[in-house]
Amino acid sequence: MESIPVWKMYPDSISWLSAQKYLGSNAVPTEHDLIKLLNSGKIFLMKCTHTDLNNNGKTISTVIGTQSRDNCVGSGLSNFVWPRQLDRPHQASGAILFHDNNRSRSYRGNRWRQTKYSDIIEVPYWQILLQFLGED
């Protein structure tokens, strides 16, 4: 509610923000930029086809992804699992692991999911996220 006066001061900001969602037809960053975002600690939306780490439970949905241990929901719990694959550098065209921080979704076991770069449908506002990442 406190931001309403700011939005009213800049009425063009909503149309600008809408235009930034994909900036043309570019709904997905490069694989390198996607991994950079996941590693950065940023938490962002990503629509993709994904499975658990054993390739079970294939689904298409929008997830809230990160690879930052500190930003994973439940990372402070004793049963939190850290996939060993994340201790190695990402291999191009390899599996992309991410922790789904969507609290409304319930997974049996842990929240780690995997996808392939070719199975990523969209990452809204990714160019803004990368811009702020560069300014941090």
| Confidence band of 46 (pLDDT split at 50, 70, 90) | very high
pLDDT tens for residues 89-113?
999 999 999 999 987 777 766 899 9
pLDDT, tens only, 17-41: 777 777 766 899 999 999 999 999 8
Of 99, 89, 96, 88, residue with least CA distance to 115: 96
- Return d(Cα 26, Cα 124) in angstroms, integer: 10
Q: Which pLDDT score is estimated for 99? A: 95
pLDDT at res. 135:
66
How many residues are given for the chain? 136
pLDDT > 90? residue 54: yes
Q: Domain coordinates of the chain in residue numbers?
A: 4-135
Q: Beta-strand (E) ranges in the chain?
A: 44-50, 59-66, 96-100, 112-115, 120-122
pLDDT at position 89, please? 93
User: Taking all residues of the chain, what is their mean pLDDT, rounded to a whole number?
Assistant: 88
